[in-house]
Amino acid sequence: MTQDHSPAPTEPVTRTRLSRALTSRRGARIALAVAVLLLVGLFGALGRAEAPSGIEPAPPASESARVDRALATFPGADEQSVLVVASRDDGAALSPADRTALEQLAPVLADHTGHDVSGPVLSDDDAAALLVTPITVGEDNTATAEVVNSLRAAIADHPVPGVEVRVTGGPAFGADIAAAFDGADFTLLAVTIAIVAVLLVLTYRSPVLWLVPLAVVATADRLAGLVTAALGQAFDLRFDAGIISVLVFGAGTNYALLLISRYREELRVTADHRAALARAWRRTVPAVVASNVTVVLALATLGLAVIPGTRGLGITSAAGLLLALVAVLFVLPPLLAVCGPKVFWPFVPVRGRPQSRRGVWRAVAERVVRRPAVALLAGLALLGVMASGLAGTSVGLDQVEKFRVPSESAAGLEVLADHFPAGEAQPMTVVADRDHAEAVAEALADVDGVVRAQVIAESTDGASARIMVVGEPVPGTPESLALVDRVRDVAHAVPDAEALVGGAVATEVDARAGNQRDLVLLAPLVLLVSLLVLVVLLRSVVAPVLLLLANLVSAVAAIGAGSWLSRVVFDQPALDLQVPLLSFLFLVALGIDYTIFLVHRARSEAGQHGTRAGMVEAVAHTGGVITSAGIVLAAVFAALGVLPLVTLGQLGMIVGVGVVVDTVVVRTVVVPSLFGLLGDRMWWPGRPVHRRVDGSHDQDGGRPHGRRAHTAVPAP
């Protein structure tokens, strides 16, 4: 039986007219002209937009963030201290000559920075020395990097033979992050484009066709960069532009693959290529729009996040994906219409030469549906093994572990931790009422794990005092985080002191609490959004619930596998704070994409073949394109590994693994096996609308449907 390609009478008139307007000879040219004019106008209007720089790791209402704001009232609010750590290359104790040379280095640093320098202070084992110098920081990490690099150049001009001198501390870490990202955005874009280009060539087997969707998606990505920068500027949103670029390229390419695949299929049964493209557009739009809406709404829930970077990423990513949708639905079709079917050269689809009824995807689907229980158990067993990687998983990396590439600040911190109280690198900052500051310092000095606590400055209005607290544990370790809690308990207990505890380690504590709160709140919301979209699209209750459960299991399995790979293969002891939430969000939302592509087609095919056979047809027709889309998306996310931060590498790896498993295992085995087990009950309380008119039973053993005429929902 050949597939029915007659126009579906249930297709809305507006969709039909719009598809013809986008693909007709005149309409396509008008659409492209309008698109060019809009692009020129938007690029001109938004060309100077720049998003705010820097990412605030903790919630604005957190105690550490309040301390940061309070420090603006102190003299030298634009000053921060950097640590200059010296140790011998051979690990031996510093000689008297080494110490003399370091003493002579102190005035050099003072002349260069314009601030007094403390030290050098020798460690107890005489193997390291420490100098502390304030610097005037810039407005962002890039500006501060210039100051730090200038200081490092001054140190390099006065070398101490046999002694390695390293600059570390908070400003130095920021400078090294900025330096690590020099050219990284261009590298990420180049790698992403190369990956998409190669995979499109392999998918289409054409030296020409890949250029069309790539040009459209690349243009959408460039526009998304400007639009998101303008949004960030207008609403003070902080976000990672690299992740947005990956999402736009990945999702946009997926939409293009689905549309072009259906276009190629229609060309085999329709002589007029414009009519074939119009029909492909009409039958692709519901699935593409539903999948886009799912991801956009899921990302929009991040607007409720308390972590600024997470909130900004959600809003701007949603905007980027909407632009990708518009580009693929309204720019790609007229471009394909103008190019004509020759763009598929050398494998131009020929009318009357339908795709082979046999194939690997049909064979797999038939086997799964024939023995659904065995297939389901096998698929779930594999996902269970992957999920077991969650055992032993911890969340939170210290500052050294966050770098994928070596840095001077990280190396300096390690030397400092080996020879001095590790907390010297990142002391806690306590702001308290001036009249009670000494009492707070005395109380904190007695806290177990505190090396010293001393009042070091008063605010310009004389109302507050600043207390520096140095701890013993290495910053970022569980011991240091627990020390922050103890220090806060003691500081808060001092009557009328109104003490607040901040600093880098306290910020880490607040960031962990904020990320945990966001995960607990937003993960259920993402699931709820996905469920509602599936219910509306499929007009069913059973199928959406089971499909979402399958997607949830797949996401957990991917996070477990990614966590195991991080620990065992890449020697990363933990996942970074934002990785669990963002990877869960992307895996669930993007996984629902492929569910929609498959099940929307299955519902349409069920109207002609029955539910079980309809799923076989759906897998046979969409297995190749969904797998291709999944591989493209996984490879694009894997491109995040070229960036220097472990956070992005972990996110890319987990989502990449998850997307591949989702397309190969869940969409090919788990979902078809569920349909094979339940048949028409998957559509409860509704039923697929059947086209049969002979009154016989369908292939799922359903009741006769009489001679009432029915039509199928248009397939994607």
Task: List the domains of the chain with CATH numbers.
Answer: 1-48+206-348 (1.20.1640.10), 63-168 (3.30.70), 358-404+507-697 (1.20.1640.10), 427-502 (3.30.70.1430)
List of residues 6+ apart from 276 with CB closer than 8 A: 263, 266, 267, 269, 270
Q: What is the pLDDT of residue 373?
A: 95
Q: What is the pLDDT of residue 358?
A: 60
CA dihedral over 102, 107, 111, 113, signed as positive or negative: positive
Asked if residue 138 has pLDDT above 80, the reply is no
Asked if residue 351 has pLDDT above 80, the reply is no
Q: Which of 289, 259, 367 is nearest to 622 (CA)?
A: 259
Residue 177 structure tokens = 């992050």
Q: Tell me if 105 sits within 8 A of 158, measured CB to CB.
A: yes
Q: What is the pLDDT of residue 628?
A: 84
Asked if residue 180 has pLDDT above 80, the reply is no
Summarize the confidence of residues 251-261 as an average pLDDT. Answer: 91
Q: What is the pLDDT of residue 696?
A: 41
Q: What is the pLDDT of residue 469?
A: 94
Asked if residue 440 has pLDDT above 70, the reply is yes
In whole angstroms, how far apart are CA 280 and each of 326, 598, 714? Answer: 16, 16, 10
Give 101's pLDDT tier (boundaries 50, 70, 90). Answer: very high
Per-residue pLDDT tens over the stretch 150-170: 999 999 998 989 999 999 888
Q: What is the pLDDT of residue 511?
A: 93
Summarize the confidence of residues 533-562 as an average pLDDT. Answer: 92
Share of the chain above pLDDT 90, in %: 49
Summarize the confidence of residues 49-74 as an average pLDDT. Answer: 88
Bond prior to 60 in cis (omega within 30° of 0): no
Q: What is the pLDDT of residue 688?
A: 62
Summarize the confidence of residues 462-468 as an average pLDDT. Answer: 93
Bond prior to 308 in cis (omega within 30° of 0): no
Lowest-confidence pick of 8-12, 43-47, 698-702:
698-702
Residue 95 structure tokens = 């000689």
Q: Tell me if 521 sits within 8 A of 515, measured CB to CB.
A: no
Q: Which of 123, 463, 544 is nearest to 294 (CA)?
A: 544
Give the mean pLDDT of the chain.
86
Q: What is the pLDDT of residue 702?
A: 39
Give 689's pLDDT tier (boundaries 50, 70, 90). Answer: low
Q: What is the pLDDT of residue 353?
A: 59
Highest-confidence range of 346-360, 562-576, 638-652, by mean pLDDT? 562-576
Asked if residue 700 has pLDDT above 60, the reply is no
Q: What is the pLDDT of residue 709?
A: 36
Q: Tell me if 594 sits within 8 A of 667, measured CB to CB.
A: yes
Asked if residue 660 has pLDDT above 60, the reply is yes
Asked if residue 715 has pLDDT above 50, the reply is no
Summarize the confidence of residues 39-62 as an average pLDDT. Answer: 87
Lowest-confidence pick of 350-354, 371-375, 515-519, 592-596:
350-354
Per-residue pLDDT tens over the stretch 70-85: 998 898 778 888 889 9
pTM above 0.85, yes or no: no
Q: What is the pLDDT of residue 486?
A: 96
Phi (first) and psi of residue 65, to 5 degrees: -65, -35
Share of the chain above pLDDT 70, in %: 92
Query: How far is it, in rounded angstroms, from Cα 699 to Cα 115?
Result: 84
Give 57's pLDDT tier (boundaries 50, 70, 90). Answer: confident
Summarize the confidence of residues 235-241 as an average pLDDT. Answer: 86
